[in-house]
Structure 1
Amino acid sequence: MEPKKYASFIGGAYDYEGEERGVYSPIDGRLVAHVVMATPEKADRAVDAAQDAFKRVWSKTPLSERRRILLRLAEIIQARSDEYALLESLNTGKTLRQTTFMDIPLGIEHLSYFGRSLEFKDSREIVHPEYPGTKGVVQYLPLGVVAAVAPWNVPFLMAVWKVAPALLAGNTVVLKPSHFTPLTALELAEDAKRAGLPDGVLNVVVGEGRVVGDALIQNTKVAHVSFTGSTKTGLDVAKKAAGLRRITLELGGKSPNIVFEDADIDRAAKGVLFGIYLNSGQLCESGSRLLVHSAVKQRLLAKIVEYMRRMNPGNPLDMETDVSAITTAEQKNKIELMVDSAVTQGARLVYSKDITKSVPEGGLYYPPTLLDNVPPHTEAAREEIFGPVLTVLEFEDEEEAVAIANDTEYGLAAGVWSQDIDKARRVAEAIEAGTVWINEYHLLSAAAPRGGFKKSGIGRELGLEGLLELTQTRHLFINQGGGDLSEVAYSLVVRE
């Protein structure tokens, strides 16, 4: 069967004019799709389509109707969930188990959440205690056009996270997925139209960041820029998007997973593995730094290695495979260089899974790896590896654990493992991170705000907090005729 041809989805239709490129699977190098690349001019046209749709129809669409369309979209994707899961796996190299049981169902649930949740209201009444006989109404109004720039590692989920709240709040969207992994985002746009979303409300442009992304974020008709990616690129985005507009940045992480001596060691070992090896470590919040109490370090590492030995490498499309591919060749090379450099500088290789004979030829893979005694000055110790590599540090007490956890420029996420919940919460509240799991890792809720401290970003996505960032407020001060304010205020300038 001939691979499908995709293109930017602008104003409710694909625009097939332009340079065509092949999309190749990191699983085995096969051609999985053709994509026509956008230009800066197409990015501008997408913004114009979004602005027109905002003024013409979407800003006037009732909140109840916006909810209904999101719920209908969730139903349509649910009916095609197997197709989405396979496409996401082929495009990203994720295991089919992960896309089937996590990425696609979670995205559908998050769409449904924003369609069902009554937490967000487009207005609320307030009381003016200073002025009897009056009332106030605070309205939560859409901003206009939202430019959403997404990374290559979780394309479907990221599309949902950026699109659903923006649409619910009444904004229109131009989404730029990574040109490496655009396929499910484009399918989402098609299905949104089937769900009844008016043309131009959701547009998807496919192109390189420095070409199409730059055009989007510098377009003065864009009211809000939402970017997820590396800290380096995020800083560049912030400069280019400067001006009187909103910006949300979710950037890199170097997240600690802290295991205390009173933790359930078996459960903690499973959580640590899940925290770093899910998606082969290609998640911003991956728990890439294991901080373990010295009293249980050897026992925990032994249990982790035991579970690593049981991991099943193979073709990610096989439902028995546990190891995802690395999505891009550039990222695979980066992982190799950082690990090799760390080992050369003294890090101890505790375990590296042998996968060479199990994975498909022509694919991009890196073995699940465990490093101890990583010199603190090395790049692997300080910077985001974004791969299946866990580094180990030990501590003696709470104070040292918190100090090590916070000794980083990043602050996206963390995990704390202890059967003493009071202690775990005390430690969690001392960690400089936007999300801290206690006796858990990686689990995400659409009801919870997501974002980072320090160089891991600004602003929040998801949750009521994320929704409100996509709105602007108007205060209506209403005198209902029940109070005479002349003695309070008017008499200062008005004489009867």
Structure 2
Amino acid sequence: MAETDIVCISPIDGRELVRRSLMAESAIDAAIAAARKAQKDWRAVPIAERAAKVGAFLDALLAMNQEVVPEIAQQMGRPVRYGGEFGGVEERARYMMRIAEDSLKPIPAENQKAGFRRMIKREPVGVVLVIAPWNYPYLTAINTIVPALMAGNAVLLKHASQTLLAGDRFQMAADRSGLPKGLFQNLVLSHDQTSRILGAGLVDHCNFTGSVSGGRSIERAAAGSFTSLGLELGGKDPAYVRADANIDHAIENLVDGAFFNSGQCCCGIERIYVHEKHYDAFVVGAVELVNKYVLGNPLDEKTTLGPMAHKRFADLVRGQNAEAVAKGAKAHIDTARFAADVGNTAYLAPQVLTGVDHSMSVMRDESFGPTVGIMKVANDEEAIRLMNDSPYGLSAAIWTSDVDAAESIGDRLETGTVFMNRCDYLDPALAWTGVKETGRGASLSRLAYESLTRPKSFHLRHDI
């Protein structure tokens, strides 16, 4: 039977939360045609005027925060006590708006010659398709939506089935702000419909955030269409606690980095390597902190750890934990302390594992859940080798009091971002990118505008 609806099942109670009908093929084609029409006029709008209109779009979105916070909890399980995502949304959006004029200005050729005008201009690519994930449904989408619009493009948004309401909210903000009709559109699409759009070359650029398998599907769908792609895929982000680290700070920050949002963070810490000097104290401190989490209904203000977004995600992590223990790892958290974890649901108790090694899935494959493995290391060399022993490379964090050492180690790490004494944060002034199976392209910073525009060279001779 053909798929006709997209359904969001709430992880809170396993019940249907929202259902949306898939768009008819004719409606999809009409939406793309409207985007093309709107983009032709939008690209001619001065950047300062674009900023005013995009700013109104952002303001309209931010005004929804009170309604959005419980919606996020209902859709993917993040506790309401942590508020929404709009602090980061605003920071990133306003930064990208602020640098747009300078990032998009013509680049004069070096060694200018008399009688010639030579420059490179940045032109919008046209229509940008944003395929957004559920784990940070606003933060991840805004990374591309705002710079794409500022660069003069039209934007089509396909949001994850788990966060359908986020797509609705973006559309409401666009409508209320008065963005030109057709310039931004939220589309409810199946995987097959998305593949058709890409395969037929109906859009000019696609930004996808999701799994490695999803990224491969996007590449296959777009093959031969010459549609450019930005892909942020899987991760297994490591952290290293050096001998000169502030151990108390490292424990506090790394526990939060591993377990916030039930571990469902693109740059969440999934494996920790601790210098033998601090290893025992680190494990004791981490276990003590993790035992303080309150697993429960994310709509309850007392809850600090909500359910994972779907039961199948929790089952994957349960399997990783069980495999690690079967191979000799030690599980430090008594899951019986967390009454909400009764098995066969999206509610999963946090776990800290030691005695782990890289033969175990929990140290090798993406978990994207509330579990972390901790290994003892003797020195920087061992830590670097283990941190690089992964098919992924999104971010890596180093806890140390030596800035030069952090930079030197970072130079040798196969990763997109190197943190020192912090983790799980996207600085909008820095490119967000990855290596290996984590993907390609970059969002945020002035480099984001490179993938959302194309260069056009002008070689103008006027001396005749």
TM-score (norm 1): 0.87
**Distance 1:128-1:342 versus aligned 2 partners, 3 A rule:** closer
1:219-242 CA distance string (max 9 Å, x none)? 312111211111122122112212
Change (3 A) 1:305 1:409: same
* Worse-matched range after superposition: 135-144 or 294-303: 135-144
**Corresponding residue for 1:76?**
60
Contact 1:260 1:293 in 2 (8 A): yes
Aligned runs of 1:41-190 on 2, under 5 Å?
41-55=26-40, 57-100=41-84, 103-118=85-100, 120-129=102-111, 131-190=113-172
Contact 2:47 2:100 in 1 (8 A): no
> For the structure 1 residues 21 and 401, does the alpha-carbon distance in structure 2 shift closer, same or farther, using more than 3 Å as the test?
closer
Report the Cα offset of residue 379 of structure 1. 2.1
Asked if the contact 2:244–2:401 (Cα under 8 Å) also holds between the matched residues in 1, the reply is: yes
Kindly state the Cα deviation for residue 181 of structure 1 after the two structures are TM-superposed.
1.2
Q: Compute the displacement of 1:23 (Å).
A: 3.0
3-state secondary structure, aligned to 1:277: helix
Higher Cα Rg: structure 1 or 2? 1
Tell whether the 8 Å contact from 2:112 to 2:118 is kept in structure 1 after alignment: no
CA distance in 2, matches of 1:435, 1:360: 37
Distance 1:446 1:43, change over 3 A: farther
Identity %: 29
Alignment counterpart, residue 195 of structure 2, candidates 206, 209, 214: 214
Match of 2:419 among 437, 449, 454: 437
8 Å contact kept, 1:274–1:441? no
Q: Equivalents in 1 of 2:121, 2:406: separation in Å?
A: 39
Aligned to 1:304: 286
Match 2:241 to one of 252, 259, 274: 259
Please tell me the residue identity of whatever aligns with 1:206: V
Structure 1 counterpart of 2:215, which letter? Answer: G
Cα pair 2:7 2:162 within 8 Å, conserved: no
Amino acid at match of 1:267: H
Looking at structure 2, the residues matched to 423 and 140 of structure 1 have their Cα atoms a distance apart, in angstroms, of: 38
Q: CA deviation at 1:320?
A: 2.9
Q: CA RMSD in A?
A: 2.2
Instruction: Tell me if the contact between 2:270 and 2:363 (Cα under 8 Å) persists in the aligned partners.
Output: no
Q: 1:388 to 1:42 in 2, by over 3 A?
A: farther
Comparing 40-49 with 75-84, greater Cα deviation is found at 40-49
Q: Which moved more, 1:353-362 or 1:325-334?
A: 353-362
Gaps of 5+ in 1: 1-17, 485-496
User: For residues 405 and 52 of structure 1, do their structure 2 counterparts lie closer, same or farther at Cα, with a shift above 3 Å needed?
Assistant: same
* Structure-2 residue corresponding to 1:6: none
Q: 1:252 to 1:39 in 2, by over 3 A?
A: farther
Residues 128 and 336 of structure 1, relative CA distance in 2, 3 Å threshold? closer
Closer, same or farther: CA 261–129 of 1 in aligned 2, 3 Å: same
| Equivalent pair of 1:27/1:325 in contact (CA under 8 Å) | yes
Structure 1 residues 324 and 123: CA distance shift in structure 2, 3 A: same
Give the alignment partner of residue 405 of structure 1, picking from 387, 391, 408.
387
CA distance in 1, matches of 2:348, 2:383: 30
Contact 1:143 1:223 in 2 (8 A): yes
2:370 is aligned to 388
Change (3 A) 1:358 1:161: same
Unmatched 5+ stretches in structure 2: none
Q: State the alpha-carbon separation in 2 of the partners of residues 60 and 67 from structure 1.
A: 13
User: Which residue in 2 is equivalent to 1:241?
Assistant: 222
Relative distance call for 1:83 and 1:361 in structure 2 (3 A) is farther
For 2:112 and 2:143, how far apart are their aligned partners in 1?
41
Counterparts of 1:40 and 1:356, CA distance in 2: 47
Q: 1:394 to 1:356 in 2, by over 3 A?
A: closer
Q: Residue 207 of structure 1 aligns to a residue in which SS?
A: coil
Question: Cα–Cα, structure 1 residues 266 and 472, in superposed 2: closer, same or farther, change >3 Å?
Answer: same
Q: Report 1:9-24 matches (<5 A).
A: 19-20=4-5, 22-24=7-9
Deviations 1:37-86 (Å, cap 9, x if unpaired)? 3355544443233223223x222222122111121122222222111222
Number of equivalenced pairs: 461
Post-superposition Cα deviations, 1:104-133, rounded to whole Å, max 9, x if no partner, equal 221133222233335644332514526334
Answer whether contact 1:374 1:391 (CA < 8 A) is retained.
Answer: yes
Deviation at 1:363, TM superposition (A): 6.0
2:397 aligned partner, one-letter code: G
Comparing 297-306 with 81-90, which one deviates more in the overlay?
81-90
Aligned twin of 1:29:
14
Aligned-pair CA distance for 1:359: 7.3
**For residues 204 and 271 of structure 1, what CA distance do their matches in structure 2 show?**
36
**Is 1:323–2:305 an aligned residue pair?**
yes
Aligned residue in 1 for 2:454: 472
CA apart distance, 1:402? 0.7
User: In 2, are the aligned partners of 1:352 and 1:368 still within 8 Å (CA)?
Assistant: no
Separation in structure 2 between the aligned mates of residue 362 and residue 68 of structure 1, nearest angstrom: 49
Query: How far, CA to CA, are the matches of 2:334 and 2:179 in structure 1?
Result: 48
CA distance in 2, matches of 1:219, 1:356: 50
Q: Distance in 2 between matches of 1:111 and 1:189?
A: 16
SS of the aligned residue for 2:147 comes to helix
Q: State the alpha-carbon separation in 2 of the partners of residues 262 and 317 from structure 1.
A: 40
State the alpha-carbon separation in 2 of the partners of residues 147 and 283 from structure 1. Answer: 22
Q: Which amino acid aligns with 1:231?
A: V
Q: Contact between 2:5 and 2:22, CA under 8 Å: does it hold in 1?
A: yes
